[in-house]
Chain A
Amino acid sequence: MNALGRILARRETGIAVMIVLFALAVSLYKPQFLTLNSLRVILLLTPLVMIAAMGQMLVLVARHVDLSIGSMLGLSAMLTGMMFRDLPEIPWGLGFAVSIGIGTLLGLVNGALVTFFRLPSIIVTLGTLNLYRGLTFIVSNARQVDRQFIPADLKGMSQTSPLLGIPWIIFMAFAVALLTYWFAMHTRVGRQIFALGSNPIAAPLRGVKVTQVTLLVFAISGALSGLAGIMYASRWGFVNPSNTGFGFEFQVIAAVVIGGVSINGGVGSVLGVMLGVLLMGCVAAALPLLGIPGTAQSAIYGAVILVALLIDRSVRRQGIARFKAARA
């Protein structure tokens, strides 16, 4: 009972139960939802969100928020795409360094505005959400980078597979999640992020370098948005100034919050965020399969987010109650 209670009390359990129930419910109507191919479809919907969600998790844990990720994704993808178009001689692998580098720089700007000017991150990143999107239009002259300019090897990463028919970009997303787990749980700086978010007043007294840690989480969020940017070019084969990354922050923040990261800082786990991303992917893949008309899909998508949060809360309450009862 004790062990069961402890498992039930975990946030991750609630989300895992939700995913299983949701998949079973969908498969009652559409048995093909429980096939390997549909798993492939779901996984292919998730890598960009999963990568950016890891950065967003760290930002939220530090008691900040980063609304600018979609625009950082767009701007770094655009500049990288333009490099591929205008300098076709450049080896395609360099695109990763360029895209991540630009993302890091943009994230550092966010972090610097937040730390040095003591501005609330929600306002700063709301500003840069628009600023970076506008810059994307300016540098690209509002023109799309077409499919023919994206290197074939880069596009191949979303289609060719090292193992089990699962494309490279999905493995990359899981690798980023593993790295984030190691960083957040097993490094000094990683633990300091949690300490800062749990108690921003006490943290500096206990030796947490607030400025550096804050700059770091925004830089990581930017870097991972940059990585998601070049992976967008890989996945969709083009970069468009208005579409690429537009509305991305909603998907990511929803997945992170469903994954149990507290918007009040200090709380969050990589496993929870991964499950949150997976649940959102399941919903996005299931709605068209169920033949739900496009007009109703976004309403249902929003409702599912709210229901997931409510069910999760009640499952955890029961778990905690049993845990306490078992201890008493």
Chain B
Amino acid sequence: MLKKSLIAMAAGLALSTAALAQDKIDIVFIGKNTGNPYFDSLTKGFVEACQKIACNFEFVAPATAEATSQIPFIEAQIQRGVDVIAISPNSPDALNQVFDAARAKGIIVMTVNGDITGNEAHRDLTILPTDFTKVGADQIEMVGSLIGYEGEIAILSATTEAPDQNFWIKGMNEAIKDPKYAKMKLVATVYGDDQPEKSTSEMEALMANFPDLKGVIAPTTVGIAAAAQVVQSRGVADKVKVTGLGLPSEMRDFVKDGTVAAFQLWSPYNEGWLAAHLAVDLKAGKAKNEVGSTFEVPNLGTITINAGNSINTQSALTTFNAENIDQFDF
């Protein structure tokens, strides 16, 4: 008798947890690597969204940002049976097969913060922080305004094969042809591999090789901090203007002491926030993954799905300077 009721209770419990699990969808976000402060902010967007709407969220990431290091993580999530895999891919082509396997099981695969350019057919949609075709031009304008549109500039990038950085650098090379920048000359593009030591050596070498250098664009968070530190320790902030893409949390000191006048980025937080809302709406049938269709996201307004099933969280880069940097907590 007792045994029977226990079994019934257990069955009831199992049923009710199953029902609960059905209410909430499971989202996992696979970052490029662990310990990367950029993804802390992006993850926070997911976490805070899932506290308000019907989703369970988990963040996982490999230790290193290698092309194939994410594959076992994706396989594990397929086994687990999540509803949505959001991922910042480490490779534009190494993940095609495992993405196909996930989608064959009905899992929505969305790339976040970077896309698998050339292999878009292997994912459902992409969420990019801003229109990447404009980043190069925005950065050239930024450095131009800092150096009075005259003099030598250089680029300090991440790795030689980093797809986003290379795309933006291509944009910079195009943008600088504008007659507005006729007196500016791009003298070198170097790569610090997103390591502080290497980025510092490359920055020191730039300054030794180009004594007349006026400006440096570092479109990567590690690079811009290393470049700023070199300029700070050499005491040449008035001669060499450092700008690029950086995290306010890492750049705050340099902006406050005048080493860096201004730099740019977007809100990684909003990427996570938007991705979680879209995932829940797609699963509930409230949004459709079709080019041209729209959906509502609290705080961000109406979002449109653009060509190539691509979504931008903001239309232009945010510029950070001494006046506004304290308003950002990432």
Chain B residues within an 8 Å CB radius of A294: 159-160, 190-193, 198
**Cβ–Cβ contact A288 & B201, under 8 A:** yes
The answer to whether B208 touches A37 (Cβ under 8 A) is yes
Is the C-beta of B195 less than 8 angstroms from some C-beta in chain A?
yes
Q: In whole Å, how far is B206's beta carbon from the nearest beta carbon of chain A?
A: 8
B204 with A285: CB separation less than 8 A: yes
Tell me whether B35 and A289 are in contact (CB under 8 A).
no
Establish whether residues B232 and A159, one from each chain, have CB atoms under 8 Å apart when the complex forms: yes
- Tell me if A198 counts as interface (CB < 8 A to partner B): no
A41 at the interface (CB under 8 A from B): yes
Contact status A147-B253, CB under 8 Å: yes
CB <8 Å contact, A146 and B196: no
Q: How far is the CA of A67 from the CA of B239 in the complex (A)?
A: 43
Chain B contact-residue range equals: 20 to 34
Known contacts A288-B190, A288-B201; A242 and B33 CB within 8 A of each other? yes
Dominant SS among interface residues on chain B = helix
Instruction: Please give, as numbers and ranges, the residues of chain A lying within 8 Å of B159 by CB-CB distance.
Output: 294
- The verdict on A288 contacting B204 (CB below 8 Å), with A146-B249, A159-B233 known, is yes
Bound Cα distance from A142 to B36, whole angstroms: 8
Measured in the bound complex, the distance between the Cα atoms of B229 and A19 in whole Å is: 28
| A240→B252 CA distance, assembly (Å) | 17
In the bound complex, CA of A35 to CA of B195 (Å): 26
Given A288-B202, A291-B209, decide whether A142 and B253 contact each other with a Cβ distance below 8 A: no
CB-contacts of A223-248 with B (<8 A): 236-238, 240-243
CB contact between A142 and one of B35, B160, B250 (< 8 Å): that residue: B35
**B contact residues around A6 at 8 Å (CB):** none
Task: Report B-chain residues with C-beta under 8 Å of the C-beta of A243.
Answer: 35, 195-196
A191 CB–B CB distance under 8 Å: no
Contact A285 B195 (CB under 8 A): no
Q: Is A189 an interface residue when CB atoms closer than 8 A count as contact?
A: no
Chain A residues near B198 (CB, 8 Å)?
294
B166 within 8 A of A: no
For B253, what are the chain A residues with a Cβ–Cβ distance below 8 Å? 147-148, 237
Within 8 A of B (CB), among A57-82: none
A241 touches B34 (CB 8 A): yes
Q: Which of B37, B192, B252 has the largest count of A CB atoms less than 10 A from its CB?
A: B37
Contact A144 B204 (CB under 8 A): no
Using a CB-CB cutoff of 8 Å, which residues 197-237 of chain B contact chain A?
A: 197-198, 201-202, 204-205, 208-209, 225, 229, 232-233
> What are the residues of chain B within 8 A of A238 when measuring CB–CB?
225, 250
Determine the distance from Cα of A246 to Cα of B161 in the docked complex, in whole angstroms. 21
- Complexed CA–CA distance, A237 and B160 (Å): 25
Please give me the residue from chain A that is nearest to B252 by CB atom.
Answer: A148
Task: Give Cα A243–Cα B229 distance, bound, in whole angstroms.
Answer: 17
> A212 an interface residue at 8 Å Cβ cutoff?
no
Q: How far is the CA of A89 from the CA of B238 in the complex (A)?
A: 34
B64 within 8 A of A: yes
**Contact between chains at B195 and A45 (CB < 8 Å):** no
Instruction: Tell me whether A143 is interfacial, beta carbon within 8 Å.
Output: yes
Beyond A143-B40, A147-B253, A158-B233, is A30–B34 a contact (Cβ under 8 Å)? no
Query: B300: CB under 8 A from chain A?
Result: no
On chain B, the residues within 8 Å of A32 by CB distance are 208-209
Task: Let me know if A284 is at the binding interface, CB within 8 A.
Answer: yes
A242 touches B37 (CB 8 A): no
Is the C-beta of A92 less than 8 angstroms from some C-beta in chain B? no
CB atoms of B209 and A30 under 8 A apart: yes
Across the interface, do B193 and A41 meet the contact criterion of CB distance under 8 Å? no
**Chain B CB within 8 A of A13 CB:** no
A and B contact pairs by CB, cutoff 8 A, 10 listed:
A37-B208, A41-B201, A137-B35, A144-B35, A147-B249, A240-B35, A242-B36, A243-B195, A288-B205, A293-B160
| B contacts, CB < 8 Å to A | 33-37, 40, 63-64, 159-160, 188, 190-193, 195-198, 201-202, 204-205, 208-209, 225, 229, 232-233, 249-250, 252-253
Identify 4 new A-B residue pairs, CB closer than 8 A, beyond the known A140-B35, A238-B250, A294-B159: A45-B197, A146-B250, A147-B250, A289-B208
Residues of A within 8 A of B (CB): 30, 32, 35, 37-38, 41, 45, 137, 140, 142-144, 146-148, 158-159, 236-238, 240-243, 284-285, 287-289, 291, 293-295
The 7 closest A-B pairs by CB, nearest first: A288-B205, A241-B35, A242-B35, A294-B191, A289-B205, A142-B34, A144-B37
